[in-house]
Structure 1
Amino acid sequence: MKRRYLFVGLVLALAGSMVSTSCIGSFALTNKILGWNHTVGNKFVNELVFIAFCIVPVYEVSALADVLVINSIEFWSGNNPVACGRSVIEGQDGRYLVDCDKTGYTITSENDGSVVRLDFNADEQTWSVRTPDMEEGVVFMTMIDDNNVEMVGADGDMHRVALDAQGVLAYQQQALPAMLATR
């Protein structure tokens, strides 16, 4: 009898240690579902879909899968099996395939087959853009700190942009003439 309690206690202790590995995780599956919900329609439609997914337990099941399986895989391997992969984006100009990997995104237009690569360099804290005909990417954004970035301007120079409503608005106003000229 005591042996059985010891065995059950040992199993519970091992199970508890696996569940409580201090891994918060990114909850990529749940966040993908929430992200999809934001694309469905206006805020009222989003709320209705949210309520329906709570009643049907879509969010509950995805959160449980994240907690028990996906976040554990992410913790032990360093990779989240859901976070990266392929997404299809419906845009005004057609459909785009977005492939995510550890360093960035490859965006392919289904209309004309054109490809653009966005890469993040963690050492330099920069985002760059590259097309297949380019040997190296062109840096378009450098992370300075939590409140500021440097962005390439219409003149080709890097400009400091505050990450707040005023900074983004000022950058948009500066970049808008160049964006309109390329259309």
Structure 2
Amino acid sequence: MKKNYVYVGAILMLAATLPLQSCIGSFSLTNKVLSWNNQVGSKFVNELVFFAFWILPVYEVTSVADLLILNSIEFWSGNNPVEASTKVIDTDQGRYYIACDGKGYDITAPNGDKVRLDFEADSQTWSVGVNDEETIPFMTMIDDSHVKMITPQGDFRAIPLSEQGVMAYSSMTQGTTLCMK
């Protein structure tokens, strides 16, 4: 009988380490529910909703959906279907539509012009394209404190991610427009 407890204990210990292993996928659905819960109200309301979602099995269902379906889609296609969304932003200049497909953003201006922002994870580079024309890289992440930004001359310069770096880049580009060719 004692041997069974040892085996069961060992199996439970191994099972407890599974969540600590590297997993494939971002668990976007579960994280969206958790982030929504953090915005519901005070910390006491958030805690009550948290417990209610465990009792109602909301978290269990979202975790299983992420684990079995959504993370597999993300692994094979490179896109997570939960990340895809469209937002509407009303401004003084009109209504902008921003569509996210998990790899980048399509921004539609009130006059119908479209801008595409893409992120290439391998090179850590953001690119921009206007009205379905060729895309041009404009920013590459170097490390946690520097990026390479395009200059008005079309070359790239390392900019520190600090207030001074932003001010220096702003003065470098003052009065110029980076044009798409």
* Alignment deviations for residues 12-47 of structure 1 (CA, whole Å, 9 cap, x no partner): 86xx47963625764534654687799xxxxxxx7x
Q: Which amino acid in structure 1 is aligned with residue 46 of structure 2?
A: C
Q: Which amino acid in structure 2 is aligned with residue 100 of structure 1?
A: D
Match of 1:170 in 2: 168
Pairing of 1:30-45 with structure 2 (within 5 A)? 32=32
Shift of the alpha carbon at 1:99?
Answer: 2.3
Pairing of 1:130-169 with structure 2 (within 5 A)? 130-134=129-133, 136-169=134-167
Pairing of 1:23-172 with structure 2 (within 5 A)? 23=22, 26=26, 28-29=28-29, 32=32, 49=41, 51=43, 54-55=46-47, 57=49, 61=53, 64=59, 68-69=63-64, 71-73=66-68, 74=71, 78=75, 81=80, 83-92=82-91, 93-101=94-102, 104-109=103-108, 111-134=110-133, 136-172=134-170
CA contact (8 A) 1:19 1:68 kept: no
Count of residues paired in the alignment: 163
Q: Which amino acid in structure 2 is aligned with residue 152 of structure 1?
A: I
After the TM superposition, which segments of 4 or more aligned residues of structure 1 sit over 6 Å from their partners? 33-38
Q: Which amino acid in structure 2 is aligned with residue 162 of structure 1?
A: P
Q: Which amino acid in structure 1 is aligned with residue 64 of structure 2?
A: V
Structure 2 CA distance for aligned equivalents of residues 125 and 109 of structure 1:
24
> Kindly, what percent of the aligned residue pairs are identical?
28
RMSD of equivalent CA atoms = 4.6
CA contact (8 A) 1:70 1:80 kept: no
Shift of the alpha carbon at 1:130?
Answer: 1.2
Name structure 2 gaps, 5 residues minimum: none
Structure 2 CA distance for aligned equivalents of residues 59 and 167 of structure 1:
45
Change in CA separation of 1:125 and 1:56 when aligned onto 2, cut-off 3 Å: same
CA contact (8 A) 1:27 1:66 kept: no
Structure 1 CA distance for aligned equivalents of residues 62 and 130 of structure 2:
38
Structure 2 CA distance for aligned equivalents of residues 83 and 158 of structure 1:
34
Change in CA separation of 1:88 and 1:147 when aligned onto 2, cut-off 3 Å: same
